[in-house]
Structure 1
Amino acid sequence: MPDLRGPAPYDALLLLSFGGPEGPDDVVPFLANVTRGRGIPEERLKEVGKHYFLFGGVSPINGQNRDLLDALREDFAEHGLGLPVYWGNRNWAPYLTDTLREMVADGHRRIAVLATSAYASYSGCRQYRENLADSLAALEAEGLPVPRVDKLRHYFNHPGFVRPMTDGVLASLADLPEDVRAGARLVFTTHSVPTAAADTSGPVETHGDGGSYVAEHLDVARVIAGAVREETGVDHPWDLVYQSRSGAPHIPWLEPDICDHLETLHGEGVPAAVMIPIGFVSDHMEVLYDLDTEATAKAAELGLPVRRSATVGADPRFAAAVRELVLERAAAERGLPVERCALGALGPSHDLCPVGCCPARAPKPAAAGADSPYA
């Protein structure tokens, strides 16, 4: 009998990420890639890159992706999933197009894609799909076979993503001084985006007032806060706030900012806070600088005890979740009934991004969706 939990039709998995510099000489070229087409002068890029220079010009994201690759390969091997795992980035080596070229040379024609972004948004989903379309077009122009790529569903509410974060919150609460622990506020944080982009995130029917982006974060926060209450017996108040704004000041972005919110909490007499970066898969630069450096310094200035809980990173439970995501999508592609794991009220996300999902300001081809030019 055929293996009903095998990876067919997929013959490889692609880990698709943002990328980051790995030394001081990489910082400005990396930022030039990130901001390509915006005409930002080199001196401004050097100013923007000061966060990286504080850490020797090295973003931790590439090292963390290597750890995740190891965890995925180990998990796949332990469970007999003979699926090779590759890695490609949008903005730094290994570049996505180079990786796809390598995969095609290795004979792969049906590729499952895991993006290191768990939520619906233009920058967290459709932009990755646009990058995939650009890379497939480059292969086509070179006369190479064009593989089919299928992006795995959003995993923001998968137990293998949520439960490691919950454990991180519990550990952070336990690390607070006992006299402030019970009164600590849970501060869930994610990347701010323009409100216009948030409002149009996700399928068309979810557009408006933060769209899927805000709704998904709020749902995960409720799940984690509820799990913490069950574990500790304490009902900690919680908030969803934002960080890492990078846009022009006249354009509205999601608020409040984490540092402003810490000031508000201090003014209200809140005795402590746990910062929970639910919007991020790993402890990359925006976590290291915006939370561990900037927000932690603000809390110290206020005299507000804070802890920052861990991201999922290469947790074995997350690696197992990725395996389950591959197997469920493979089964669905083979026309088999699929049981999809999801916590919270929203249920599992769609497999195929529908038309109108997370639209770009200037329409561009995007792979792995209902509007993909590549079947």
Structure 2
Amino acid sequence: MESIPVLQRASEMGLYVLAVDANPQAPGFAHAHESVIGCVYTPEKSVAALNKWSAKGGKPHGVICAAVDAPGTVAAVADHFGLTAVSAETARLATDKKAMKDRFKECGIPIPWYREIFSADELAQLLADQQETLVIKPVDSRGARGVLRLVYGSPHMPDPQWAFECSQKESPSGRVMVEKYLHGPQVSTEGFVVNGQCFCPGFSDRNYEFLDRFAPNIIENGGDLPSFLDQDTQDAVKELSGKAAIALGIENSMFKGDMVVHEGRPYVIEMAARLSGGYFCSHEIPWNTGVDFVSTAIRLALGEAPAPENMIPPFQKGVAQRYLFPKPGKVTAIEGVEEARKMDGISMLEIRTAVGEAISPATSHPARAGVVMARAETREEAIKRVEAAVAAIKIVTA
């Protein structure tokens, strides 16, 4: 669903849009001129499917992925057809968190302490030795699956054996790592590297108000723009995001950073080589800054060099996003949706469940039951509006 705005924007630009997905019923297919069945997480399958398609006389002129962590497939397709995109090595670094951190360490990019671990006993020993908050995560997964915050001495602290197995089962390769949890404001950045120059119009304060509610899982509840951070700190975060992107080998493409400001200094948690999900690139950045982020990314994928002025924000307006987290159970009623839609400034309201469906406990980002986004002249007013809309919506479960 979150890829659809990118397909729509490409069509609005006058491009012929070809969508690839393994699911014949993929919702994005309705927004493309043509569709191809191919797994976006399996590069060779997508290349083979597109090669078969091109045998009919067509040829792609650009390739991009949004809201799916599939830079490896983008790189493979680009290499096969001679298109502009990240390299296979950059894609590997961007999807292997251990390799990513190794590269950042080599390049002097500030990151949390980290280590790959191989057993629950090793995890238990690290916790006993360090006696501080650690994060355990799969080396190669996405969407916060298997990512746990381990607070030493906390009542939310899970059994190390359970934590290790929970994280390991979400890793396709069965690999797990831990890193130090750095306290401080977390930020989502999104930008471009164009001919060696970095532009970072996307900058959102991440909302983790439910850390205790969903512990030990780490579930983000939207974000707020513009940032509350002072301009010097914002500039430092943006500069570090660009350096990290370049360290991964990103050239003439986009990047999406997960950053944290710890004791006044920015650090990189992770860096993705793709367009973001959560409607950040397609809705929040344009509403907040006036930058048509998606069209710029598409032009880069077509081998064009966008003008710098098209990547520099002309303004900063308020945008706030929140997700819906009903109690687990079977949905018996959904109330207040139309009331919320009519509230001032509500610019998007998406319900992702229906009466009769089951709501599972929230253990990763795909578990969110809906999203609400509000706009206003200021950050504070946008937050007020989105929280009022969320309060009006009742997803009743039994």
TM-score normalized with structure 2 length: 0.26
**Greater relative CO (CA pairs within 8 A, separation 6+):** 1
Q: Hey, which of these two has a bigger chunk of helix by percent?
A: 1
The TM-score with structure 1 as length reference comes to 0.27
Name the structure with the higher strand share: 2
